[in-house]
Structure 1
Amino acid sequence: MVKWKKLAFGKKGRFRGRAEKKGRPLRGESETPVIPINHPPPPPPPPPHAAGDPLLGEIEIEMPPTPPPELDLLDTEPEFAEVDPTARYGRYTEVLGKGAFKTAFDQLEGLEVAWNQIKVGDILRNNDDLERLRSEVRLLKTLKHKNIIKFYNSWLDKKNNNINFITEVFTSGTLRQYRIKHKKVDVRALKKWSRQILSGLVYLHSHDPPVIHRDLKCDNIFVNGNQGEVKIGDLGLATILDNARSAHSIIGTPEFMAPELYDEEYNELVDIYAFGMCLLELVTFEYPYCECSNAAQIYKKVSDGEKPSSLAKIEDPEVRFFIEKCIAKASQRLSAQELLMDPFLRDDGEKIFYPLQSNMKASGND
C-alpha cells in the first residue's frame, strides 16, 4: 500500500512528492500509483418497487441503505447511494455544503441537481397531515418562475421515515455566504436583488389562495455571483392559504418572524417583513436582533414593536426608509407588488418584470 506524504514545491517551482515504499523515493514512472479522476459511474438499475399505494404522485419504494461516508477523496470517488422511484435521478454520498442536500444527477437531462431528505416523523401524525403534505407537493410542482428554485420531484420513503425532494442546484451559495465573503454590498446590487426577490414573492402571493414562504431569510435566497441572479429556495414549508381562514401554524426563524406570526393569524405579508430583515442584514452586516441572546428576548422586542438595534446604524436615509416600509405593522405594510413600484427601486430605469399580472389582486391590500 503506497502512503502519500504532503506534496511540496521544488526550488524551480515544480511539484514534487515522495511515497513511502521500502524507503525508496519515486523516480520517473516507477512505483507511481495511478489515481483515476473520472465522473461518478452511472447509477445501477432502480430497486424493485415495494407494495403500497402511490403517494405524492410517485410509487413508494424500499430505499437501499446509505453507504458509509467517504474516507479519502484521493482514494475513492463519490459513492452511489440510491435512485428515485422513476430511476431518473441518482444520488451520491457527496454533500452540497451544509444541511441535508446531497449531490444527485439527472440522467435524462445530464444535469446536476440537489437531493434533499427531510424527516417526517413529527409532520405526519394523521391522514389529514398526509393529505396536507400531498397538497403542498402538488403545489411545489406547479411553481415556475425565474426567481424561484425549480422543484422537480418528490416521494415518501416510509422505511427511513423521510420525504425526498429533487430541486435545482445553485452552487454559488446563499446571500448570507455572499455577504460574509465580500464584506460589502453595493446599493445597486441591493436594489437589483430586491427587485428579483420581490418579483418572486409577487408570483407566490398572486396565487389564489396565496402561497406563503414563511421562512424567508438570507440563508435560503441563492445567488449566482457571475450573473447577479437570485432565487428563492426552501419552499418545502410553504402552504396554500385556505380561502376561509389564514394559515395557523408557526414556522420560521425568530429573527425574521413578523409579530403577527406569534399570534398564529397572518397572511402573505409576513414574507414582506422577512424580506425587510434580509435587506437589513445585507446593509448592516449584522443578524437582525443580534443584541438579543435568546429567542425569548427577540419575542419580547418584536411583541413590543421594538425594531432591531442595527436599523439605527443605516446611514443612507432612502435605504432605511425602504426597509422601514417592509417591517412596518401588518396594517401599514406594503405588498410585494406595491414595493416593486416604490421610487427606491425604480430610480435607475431598469425594467421590472411583473409575473402573472392578470391574476394579481387589484389593490394588493387585504
Structure 2
Amino acid sequence: MPSVHPETSDQDREPFVEIDPSGRFGRYSDLLGAGAVKKVYRGFDQVEGRDIAWNQVKLRNFSDDPSVLKRLLSEVELLQSLNNENIIVLYSSWMDVEHSTLNFITEACASGNLRDYRKKHRRVSLKAMKNWSRQILRGLEYLHTHDPCIIHRDLNCSNIFINGNIGKVKIGDLGLAAVVGKNHAAHTLLGTPEYMAPELYEEDYNELVDIYSFGMCLLEMATMEIPYSECNSIAMIYRKVTKGEMPLAFNKVSDHEVKAFIERCIGQPRARPSASDLLKDPFLVEINSEESDGCA
C-alpha cells in the first residue's frame, strides 16, 4: 500500500478488505454487529457514495443441510424484491463459493438499532414511542399482507433500526423470515426466546407471532428492560411464556393505556389483532392535539 500523503484518497487510508463481484460495494474490516451465523461489517457504495451494511453468512453452518441453504438463498432473493419505507433495503446478494459465504448488501441506518438508541436517550416521550410503534407496524403490515405472506419470526429491538436525525424506523435482519403461503402455518422453531410467542414453541403458528414480538418490543421501549430478564435460562422463559406469565418488566409500565395496548399484542393468538387492526387502535391514531410528553 502506498505511503499516506496529503493527496492520498480515503480509500488508500482505509482500504477495503473485500469488494463485491460487480466492483460497486467495498467492505471495511470493522464489525457493526454479529450473530450466531451472520456478521455485519461497515461498507461503502462507490456508485452512490453512501455507507452500507455488508452482511456475511458463513455457509459451513448449513453445509450438512443443502435444503436450508436453498431456502436461505430463495428468501434473500425475495427480500431483494421488497419495497417499503419501514423495511431495510436489500441492494445486492451473491454467494462467494471460494470463501463459502453468502453476502448481502443492505442500507445502513445512521443511529444503529432501537435498543441501543433507547438506552442512549433515556427520556423519550410517549408520543415518540407511538411514532416508532406506528412505523414498526406499517413494516409488519407490509410483510404480512405481501403475497406470499412473510413472517419475520425474530422481531426484537436489536433488529429494528433507526435514523435518529429524521426519526425513521426500519425493520431489519429478516434472515429468519419464513415465507408462507396463504392459509399455511409455518413449522420451524427459530427466534429470540424473550420475544417468542407461546405458539412458536408448539411450531404451529402464523404471522401473529410477530405481533406478540412487537408487544414485547414496546414493553422494552417503555421500560428499557429486555422482557424476562429475571429468568436465568431459556427453560425458565419457556415455562413462564407457555403459562402466560407476564415478565416482571410489565409491572414497571406506569401508563395504563400503554399497558392495555401491550396486553392486546401479547394476548391469545385467536384474540391477537393484526398489524392493520393495531394501526387503527385509538392508542396509535394520530391526533392534532399534543400528546402527553410523559414517559411510559
Give TM-score scaled by structure 1 length: 0.73
Within 5 A, what are the aligned runs for 1:64-213?
Answer: 77-96=13-32, 100-213=39-152
The match for 2:11 is 41
Separation in 2, partners of 1:39, 1:215: 40
Instruction: Provide the secondary structure at the position in 1 that maps to 2:271.
Output: coil
The within-5 A match list for 1:320-339 is 320-339=259-278
CA distance in 1, matches of 2:286, 2:19: 49
Where 1:96 maps in the other structure, the secondary structure is strand
Deviation per CA, 1:83-129: give whole Å up to 9, x if none: 11222212222333566222222222222211011122233534433
**Paired letter, 1:119:** K
Aligned-partner Cα distance in 1 for 2:121–2:178:
34
Residue among 240, 246, 251 paired with 2:185? 246
Question: 1: distance between equivalents of 2:60 and 2:244?
Answer: 36
Provide the C-alpha distance between the structure 1 equivalents of 2:219 and 2:65, rounded to a whole number of angstroms: 40
Equivalent positions of 1:208-247 (< 5 A) are: 208-243=147-182, 245-247=184-186
The structure with the greater share of residues assigned to helix is: 2
Question: Could you say what secondary structure the match of 1:346 adopts?
Answer: coil
* Residue 156 of structure 1: how far off its partner (Å): 1.5
Distance, in Å, in 2 between the alignment partners of 1:304 and 1:37 is 65
Distance 1:305 1:38, change over 3 A: farther
The Cα of 1:241 is off from its aligned counterpart by 0.6
Structure 2 distance, partners of 1:89, 1:201, is: 29
Residue-pair matches, total? 284
SS at match of 2:80: helix
Against the structure 1 CA distance between its residues 170 and 37, is the aligned structure 2 distance closer, same or farther, given a 3 Å change threshold? Answer: farther
Conservation of the 8 A alpha-carbon contact between 1:78 and 1:94: no
**Structure 1 pair 347–243 and aligned structure 2 pair: CA distance change class (3 A):** closer
- Aligned equivalents of 2:153, 2:195: Cα separation in 1: 9
Structure 2 unaligned regions, length at least 5: 290-296
Structure with greater contact order relative to length (CA < 8 Å, sep ≥ 6): 2
RMSD: 2.1
Partner of 1:62: none
- C-alpha distance in structure 1 between counterparts of 2:172 and 2:251, whole Å: 30
Would the aligned equivalents of 1:210 and 1:241 in 2 still touch at CA under 8 Å? yes
Cα distance in 2 for residues equivalent to 1:37 and 1:277: 51
Other structure's SS at 2:210 match: helix
2:26 aligned partner, one-letter code: G
Structure 1 residue 279, shift from structure 2 partner: 0.5
Deviations 1:285-309 (A, max 9, x none): 2110111111110000001111111
Say whether the 8 Å CA contact 1:212–1:241 is kept in structure 2: yes
Paired residues of 2:95 and 2:102 also in contact (CA < 8 A)? yes
In 1, distance between residues paired with 2:280 and 2:15?
A: 50
Deviation at residue 159 of structure 1 after TM alignment: 2.8
**TM-score using structure 2 length:** 0.89
Unaligned 5+ segments in structure 1 are 1-33, 43-76, 351-366
Q: Percent identity?
A: 53
Deviations 1:304-330 (A, max 9, x none): 111111112211111100010011111
**Which of these two proteins has the greater Rg computed from alpha carbons?**
1
1:154-177 CA distances to partner (integer Å, 9 max, x unpaired)?
A: 111233222111000112111111
Contact 1:78–1:93 (CA<8 Å) still a contact in 2?
no
User: CA 1:349 to 1:239, structure 2 compared with 1: closer, same or farther past 3 Å?
Assistant: farther
Distance 2:43 2:186 in 1: 33
Q: What amino acid maps onto 1:93 in structure 2? A: S
d(CA) in 2 for partners of 1:79 and 1:102? Answer: 14
Structure 1 residue 37, shift from structure 2 partner: 9.2
Question: Aligned partner of 1:270: which letter?
Answer: V
* Preserved contact between residue 147 and residue 181 of structure 2 (Cα < 8 Å): no
